[in-house]
Structure formats: structure tokens, C-alpha cells
């Protein structure tokens, strides 16, 4: 179904909203039918992200780590002076464990130990059980997150949860899900623009090239890998569910996607033989079927994830005073909620793919044991070529 057809059917979409949207938004109900483990993890991911923000901010305020933080801040400043953050897009993680890229911590042993300890504790949070209410309130409990930013993230989380619940519902066919997806988009965008990100693609520079970009990956690379592994599963499980409904030969792949995520999560000590993502997972790369069928939904999800990454980088930048941190976060939120700041669809797609499938965690379905960069399509097994047709 094309976007033009969806516009023609807009009255039906509105009727769908009024008659059945409430039944689609029962917390975790449809997800529980598709996979109880996914339903548990979706709550855990939000709670873990909020816990990471709090833990990083606490380290920043702890006088025991003041010297280590000052050293790392100086080295980050030197890197920024040499060129834009993330200029070398796609540093590789070392194989054998979730190790740090060479520039991470700037070789500071104290920060390395902190990073590992924090990663171990956050993995325990991921493995725990968290209620719907705990997940819904998680961002409001982050001390260093301005209230307005917390509300934007919370509303974004609600949108993503509704999208996953919808596509996990076994009682709806593809056409009904496409209509319902449009309804969820319209519901999200209805109201005050201050609390919703735009449905137009944002320039990647908003999260890659600001003053604090890349801080999390460089100061806490293991924590970064854990959070991006969580994001990978968000997108990969959605891709597995949708792809299985579009093409029966891919049915029943959610369990395999979960197993791959657990391999990335690794042991309680933080060790894993399966590298975590070193680039932010994006919808066109990890969930290309969603991008093909519902590009607006894909763009909203990626805009939300870019905003998450930018806010986390700001909080991870050592030594910022409270006022500077708050102003930087609110300025970033304003950019992502501003409807006039946008890029074109092709630039968005190219930016999403430039990070590489392997660096973003690997495909949701199928294997990719090494980086696909500078490899021919034949060597890649033509992966993704059917799904990446783009919006109509």
C-alpha cells in the first residue's frame, strides 16, 4: 500500500482511531502474546537507560573521580579541536569481549574500571523485571534530565511501545496494521509540538557534530555498547515480526533475534564473544521492512533515538555545570521538536546506512560475521537489497 493510498484512506484511518485504537494500546498485551520476554525487555530497556543517565551523573559529581574526569575532559577537548566528533564513523569493537575502541577512556584506567563496573550493574537491571508504571515514570526520575526533556522522551517511548504492540498483534492483517500505524503516528503528532519530535528526518549532524557528541562512546564504551544493543533489539525484533508477516519464509524468527541479543548481552561480568554495536542502530539498516512500509514511523523512531543519543552524550560529558548541562539538553530537544529543521529523505537514508549493518549490530534476520564495508554485493549475499526499496 502506497502513501498516496493511505492519504485517500485517511477518513478510514480516523474512524479506526475512534473505534479501535484503545484496544491496541493495552500495555504490553500484544507483545506478551508474541513474546513474554520481549514484553519484559521493553520495560527493562527504558529503566536501564534512565539508570545509566543517573549513574553517569553520579560519577560526575563524586569527588573521588574528579581527577580522572578532568583528564578525560581535557582529552575530549583535544579530540574536538582536531575535528568534528565521530569524524571517523564506525570504529570497530575488539572481538572476544565488549572491549573499548582505542580512543575510549583516552587510556584512563580509573574510567575503564568505572565503565566495566557500570556495565555489569546495568546488565543486571536489563535482566530484571520492571512494571509498566516503573518504565513509564523512568525518565521523570532522572535527576539531571530537565522536566521538558523527560516529557518528550516519555511520550516518544509511548509512541514506540504502541508501534510494537500493534505489529505484534496476531489478530490484525498487514492492511489493518498499516492503517493502525498511520493512526498511531497521527495520535502522537496531535497536540503541542513541543513534546513530539518531527516526522521529517533530522540531519545526523544534530547528534553527531554538537559540542558533546561521542562522549558516551569514548568515556563509557561498554555502557554505550549495552545501550545500543538494547536499541538493536528494539529494531531487530520489530523487523523480525514484520518481515515474518510480509514473507512467510521468515516467520518465527523472533526467538532467533532474541538469542542473538542475549549473545551480545553476554555474561554477568560483561564479557561476550559477540561484539555490541559501535554505531547507533537505525531503522533503514536494522528494520528496513518498517522503513519500506511505514517511512514516517521509521523517521520518528530514528529521530527519537538520535535525541536519546544526543542527551546521553551531554550527560556523559565530564565536568559540565548543572546550568550548562540543562541548557544544552533543552537546546537539543528544541532542535528535534522544531518542524522546520529537517533534511531530505535520501540524505537521511544514506546517513543511516553509512554506519554499516555490522557496526550497528548486524541484521535482524540472517548472519553477517564481518564488516560489509568495501565489500561487493555478491560478497554480502545481497543482504537487505529487497527490503531497501524505500518509501513509495
What is the per-residue pLDDT across 264-307, written as a single tens digit (0 to 9) for each?
Answer: 998 766 666 678 999 999 999 999 999 999 999 999 999 999 99
Q: Which helix (H) or strand (E) holds 70?
A: helix 66-82
φ and ψ at residue 332, rounded to 5 degrees: -70, -40
Q: What is the pLDDT of residue 368?
A: 61
pLDDT, the chain, mean? 82
Is pLDDT above 60 for 357?
yes
Indicate if the pLDDT at residue 215 is higher than 80.
yes
pLDDT at 96 > cutoff 80: no
Return the domain boundaries, the chain: 3-84+106-354
- What is the value of pTM for the model shown? 0.83
pLDDT for residue 162 is more than 80: yes
Q: Are 238 and 167 in contact (CB under 8 A)?
A: yes
The pLDDT assigned to 123 comes to 95
Q: What's the rounded mean pLDDT across residues 321-346?
A: 97
Query: Backbone phi, then psi, for 282, in 5-degree steps?
Result: -125, 160
Q: In this model, does residue 24 exceed pLDDT 50?
A: no
For residue 366, name the pLDDT band (cuts at 50, 70, 90).
Answer: confident
Round to whole Å and give the CA distance between 282 and 125. 24
pLDDT tops 90 at residue 389:
no
CA angle 37, 42, 48 (to 5 degrees): 115
Q: What angle do CA 336, 340, 342 make, to 5 degrees?
A: 65
Q: What are the start-end ranges of the E strands in 89-200?
A: none
Residues in the chain: 392
SS3 content of the chain, % helix, strand, coil (to 5): 65, 0, 35
Q: Is residue 316's pLDDT more than 70? A: yes
Helix and strand element counts for the chain (H, E)? 18, 0
Contact 24, 166 (CB under 8 A): yes
d(CA 298, CA 378): 28
3-state secondary structure of 268: coil
C-beta of residue 371 within 8 angstroms of C-beta of residue 358: yes
Least confident range from 59-68, 140-149, 241-250: namely 241-250
Amino acid at each position: 500500500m502506497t502513501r498516496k493510498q493511505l492519504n485517500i484512506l485517511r477518513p478510514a484511518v480516523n474512524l479506526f482511531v475512534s473505534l479501535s485504537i484503545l484496544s491496541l494500546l493495552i500495555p504490553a498485551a500484544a507483545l506478551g502474546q508474541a513474546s513474554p520476554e520481549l514484553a519484559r525487555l521493553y520495560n527493562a530497556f527504558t529503566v536501564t537507560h534512565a539508570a545509566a543517565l543517573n549513574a553517569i551523573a553520579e560519577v560526575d559529581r563524586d569527588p573521588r573521580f574528579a581527577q580522572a574526569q578532568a583528564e578525560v575532559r581535557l582529552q575530549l577537548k583535544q579530540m574536538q579541536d582536531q575535528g568534528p566528533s565521530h569524524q571517523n564513523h564506525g570504529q570497530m569493537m575488539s572481538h572476544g569481549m565488549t572491549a573499548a575502541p582505542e580512543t575510549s577512556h583516552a587510556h584512563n584506567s580509573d574510567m575503564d574500571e568505572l565503565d566495566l563496573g557500570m556495565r555489569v550493574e546495568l546488565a543486571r537491571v536489563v535482566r530484571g523485571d520492571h512494571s509498566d508504571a516503573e518504565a513509564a515514570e523512568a525518565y521523570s526520575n532522572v535527576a539531571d534530565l530537565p522536566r521538558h526533556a523527560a516529557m518528550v522522551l516519555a511520550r516518544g517511548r509511548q509512541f514506540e511501545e504502541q508501534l510494537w504492540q500493534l505489529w505484534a498483534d496476531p489478530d490484525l492483517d498487514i492492511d489493518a496494521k498499516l492503517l493502525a500505524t498511520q493512526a498511531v503516528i497521527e495520535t502522537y503528532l496531535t497536540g503541542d509540538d513541543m513534546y513530539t519530535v518531527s516526522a521529517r528526518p533530522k540531519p545526523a549532524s544534530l547528534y553527531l557534530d554538537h559540542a558533546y557528541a561521542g562522549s558516551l562512546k569514548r568515556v563509557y564504551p561498554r555502557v554505550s555498547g549495552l545501550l545500543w544493543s538494547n536499541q538493536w533489539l528494539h529494531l531487530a525484533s520489530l523487523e523480525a515480526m514484520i518481515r515474518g508477516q510480509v514473507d512467510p519464509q521468515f516467520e518465527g524468527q523472533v526467538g532467533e533475534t532474541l538469542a542473538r541479543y542475549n549473545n551480545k548481552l553476554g555474561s554477568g561480568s560483561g564479557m561476550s564473544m559477540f561484539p555490541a554495536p559501535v554505531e547507533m542502530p537505525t531503522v533503514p539498516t536494522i528494520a528496513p521492512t518498517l522503513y519500506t512500509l511505514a517511512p514516517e514511523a521509521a523517521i520518528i523512531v530514528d529521530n527519537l533515538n538520535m535525541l536519546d543519543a544526543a542527551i546521553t552524550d551531554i550527560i556523559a560529558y565530564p565536568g559540565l555545570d548543572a546550568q550548562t548541562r540543562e541548557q544544552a539538553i533543552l537546546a537539543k530537544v528544541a532542535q528535534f521538536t522544531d518542524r522546520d529543521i529537517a533534511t531530505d529523505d535520501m540524505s537521511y537514508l544514506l546517513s543511516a546506512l553509512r554506519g554499516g549493518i555490522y557496526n550497528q549490530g548486524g541484521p535482524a534476520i540472517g548472519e553477517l560475521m564481518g564488516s560489509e564495508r568495501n565489500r561487493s554485493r555478491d560478497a554480502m549475499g545481497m543482504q537487505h537489497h529487497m527490503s531497501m526499496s524505500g518509501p513509495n
